[in-house]
Amino acid sequence: MFLPEIQSVAMWKKVLAAVLGVIVGYSLIDDFNPDSLKGKNVVITGASAGIGEQMAYHYARMGANVLVTARTEKKLQEVVAKCKELGRSDGIYHYISADMSNLTSTELVIREAISKMGGIDYLVLNHIIVIPLGMWKGSPDNLTRMDKIVDVNYKSYVHLTSHALPFLEESKGSIVVVSSLAGKVAQPFSGVYSSTKFALDGFFGSLRQEFALRNCDVSVTLCVIGLVATESAISELKNFKQFFLLNNIKAAEPPDAAYAIIRGGALRAREIYFPYMETRVLTMLRDWLPKTVDYINRFVYTTS
């Protein structure tokens, strides 16, 4: 045996092409196996509608046990009924209705999950308070509203994680944080929303580092989600008369977003971007061409 000497430029090019081919080919292999979720215990917040609801159905179909939470009991009952239809006959499906602006309820949710499922493998933090888009005026109304938004969109995430952490460490589980492009790139008319999403990146990025430092085998996946055609997102844009965005940018389907998030969590990815191109490219360009990215963001939001 001998290794052929690589002498000519042509030969080098072939080697380079082969290496690139292997890298590209490797990156196209989908190593997500939905069967890996069979029997796993999943808690999903904000699961009465939108992406959260669709995640509950995917998880049930993949054989996981699911505890869903949100405010509206009636919607949660419907989601649980559908999970029972889609999931394993011996699967565990429950709900607990809770208002995340009351931080006491975060502990109740985790306690309920443990009492119903016996453990937690995936903590999927997805809920938000839906806030009308608007210009920040610094008015008393703006300021009082901010407190509730910060409680629901940020503090409750930290509280839920803190209560669930002992159980996640035991199961070597995963924290899946649903964020937004607005948590990587600031956009107009959603300053407080955007700041809570940036805050999640900061807190959970720090937590991920600490897990590595103390050999804690819990993964943290931050999900950077772009425009998805959920009822709440679309009606919010319509109420704010964002017809340019609605007519020119194709919103992704909620079940596809839900699948991408579940896949990222199962693969213990550090971050996922969905829809990939719009969210990844803008996030990358944010540091290289900040003014251009700002311009794009101002351009797509029209004010009449």
Ligand X SMILES: *[C@@H]1O[C@H](CO)[C@@H](O)[C@H](O)[C@H]1NC(C)=O
Residue 144 binds ligand X (CB under 6 A): no
Decide: is 27 part of the binding site for ligand X (CB under 6 A).
Answer: no
Q: Which is nearer to ligand X, 155 or 263 (CB)?
A: 155
Kindly tell me which residue out of 134, 188, 205, 255 binds ligand X, with binding defined by CB under 6 A: 134
3-state secondary structure the chain: CCCCCCCCHHHHHHHHHHHHHHHHHHHHCCCCCHHHHCCCEEEEECCCCHHHHHHHHHHHHCCCEEEEEECCHHHHHHHHHHHHHHCCCCCCEEEEECCCCCCHHHHHHHHHHHHHHCCCCEEEECCCCCCCCCCCCCCHHHHHHHHHHHHHHHHHHHHHHHHHHHHHHHHCCEEEEEEEHHHCCCCCCCHHHHHHHHHHHHHHHHHHHHHHHCCCCCEEEEEEECCECCHHHHHHHHHCCCHHHHHHCCCECHHHHHHHHHHHHHCCCCEEEECHHHHHHHHHHHHHCHHHHHHHHHHHCCCC
Among 139, 235, 239, 303, binds ligand X (CB under 6 A): 139
Q: Min. distance of Cβ 184 from ligand X in angstroms?
A: 20
Residue 188 sits in the site that holds ligand X (CB under 6 A) = no
Nearest position to ligand X, beta carbon: 134
Quick one: which of 7, 8, 89, 104 contacts ligand X (CB under 6 A)?
A: 104
241 near ligand X, judged by CB under 6 A: no
Could you say which of 93, 154, 157, 193 is catalytic?
193
Q: Which of 33, 72, 102, 235 lies at the binding interface for ligand X (CB under 6 A)?
A: 102
Note whether 145 binds ligand X by CB under 6 A.
yes
Candidate list 6, 118, 136, 172; residue touching ligand X; CB under 6 A: 136
Stretch that binds ligand X, among 56-64, 97-105, 225-233, 296-304 (CB under 6 A): 97-105
Residue with tokens 């809920």: 127
Pick from 41, 65, 69, 105 the residue near ligand X by CB under 6 A: 105
Whole-number minimum distance, CB 36 to ligand X, in Å?
35
| Annotation says 301 is catalytic | no
Residues in contact with ligand X by CB under 6 A are: 102, 104-105, 134-137, 139, 141-142, 145
Active centre residues (catalytic)? 193
